[in-house]
Copies of this chain bind each other. A is one copy, B any other.
């Protein structure tokens, strides 16, 4: 966790969870670390972890079972990728386009830079 970052800690925890899921440390259908375990491990308050978990739950990535903790959804990996695509097209890209227009950067500049990276 980067406490100096502008990015709220609860979103950093979500990012961390995404890494665990895509990196296959958290397996579909299995239990994920409890709120308390995570709060100790990451040295943050339980509320902050709880807030991240709430968000992940609302995204359908983890599923709560009363008194038993949270379990990773079977389709968690798919959901994450979809969620990240949504974020990219809804937030990141419009900002980039806005900057490009402001600076008069042509889409062809972008395309050629992309192709450089590909080769």
Q: Are B66 and A102 in contact (CB under 8 A)?
A: no
Instruction: Report how far A105 CA is from B87 CA in the complex, Å.
Output: 13
Tally chain A residues at the interface, Cβ within 8 Å: 38
Closest to A83 in B: B103
A22 contacts B114, CB within 8 Å?
no
Q: How would residues 92 to 118 of chain A score, 1 for a CB under 8 Å from any chain B CB and 0 otherwise?
A: 110111111011110100110111010
Given contacts A84-B102, A97-B117, A107-B114, 18 further A-B contacts (CB under 8 A): A3-B66, A7-B95, A8-B66, A15-B102, A18-B102, A19-B102, A22-B102, A22-B103, A22-B104, A81-B103, A85-B105, A88-B100, A88-B103, A92-B96, A93-B110, A93-B113, A107-B110, A110-B110
Contacts of A19 in B (CB 8 A): 102
Q: How far is the CA of A105 from the CA of B110 in the complex (A)?
A: 14
CB of A24 within 8 Å of the partner chain? no
